[in-house]
Amino acid sequence: MLGRVAAWSFAAFLIVSPAALGIETNTFADAPAAAAMPIATAHDPGQDQIGAKDKIKVQAQKQDQTQDDAQSKMAALDPAEPTIPSPAMAEPFGLAAVGVASGDVLTKWSGVEADIRAENEILAHCRDSAEQCPAAAQNFLAIIAQGRARTGRARIGVINRAVNMAIQPARDPAHWRAPLDTLSLGRGDCKDYAIAKYVALMAAGVAAQDVKLIIVRNLAAGEDHAVVGVRDEGNWIVLDNRWLTLVEDIDMPKVIPLFVLDEQGVRVFTPALSATHRASAPVSL
């Protein structure tokens, strides 16, 4: 009789021992009802101990499976690692930029954008009726056509060269001109070259998000300067009216990026120059 009581006590201890170890009771919620019943007594106490060992093995297997399932569920609930922005999604020069809500640069850029929209209507009419198309519009459409006939860097290089050759350099800090206005005059400064390239590249098929007009501080000359950034295969290429070579932004010599302008408006690069300079820049455009 004492042997049977000892066997029952030993079996009961083995059944409840997981809870005593701190394992939650619902760990075994899926176990069969028979597994939760006391082990039937037999005439041989040794058989009771063997049955208890078998039960412990089953319970341990259930516990391991339940813990594996719980770990799998927890893994599925873990938040994904934050996405690291691709270099292709960064602004030119690999810098962040924040939008500006006022200022001289925004005012001038908004005026140029309105002029560009008006000139696009002229270009549309020219496509329908070449006989009534102004000479400047015909020249600009020819530049766009040269770009459309090519792809990738070849397209970028053709437009960069064509615009550089079509405009004579002349200092004109007071005006920001749309392409047809500049081509009608036949002259312009760095920002006029940049605006013409900006419009021509998009008209030739380059995606709008891949073309930026950029104002930089030219440290060598001590003045602000306008260029165009074009993204090709994840790299930003800088187009400058001072040369025909296609230079990547990381190779642009002695400049500090100040502003980036596009169809989304005007943004200031951070970090750039001091707040005092940002407020007055571009001083020489």
**What pLDDT, on the 0 to 100 scale, is given for residue 246?**
95
Average pLDDT of the residues of the chain: 77
- Domain 87-280 architecture: Roll (3.10)
For the segment 104-144, what is each residue's pLDDT rounded down to a tens digit? 999 999 999 999 999 999 999 998 888 889 999 999 999 99
Of 141, 222, 150, 207, residue with least CA distance to 179: 141
Residue 182 pLDDT > 70:
yes
The region, left, alpha or beta by phi > 0 then psi within -120 to 50, assigned to residue 254 is left
Share of the chain above pLDDT 90, in %: 56
Q: Residue 284: its pLDDT value, please? A: 60
Q: Note the pLDDT tens digit of each residue in 22-45.
A: 334 333 334 333 333 343 444 555
Q: How confident is the model at residue 274 (pLDDT cuts 50, 70, 90)?
A: very low
Predicted structure pTM score: 0.67
**Per-residue confidence band for 77, with pLDDT thresholds at 50, 70 and 90:** very low
Residue ranges covered by each domain of the chain:
2-77, 87-280
Q: Collapsing DSSP states into helix, strand and coil, what is residue 65? A: helix
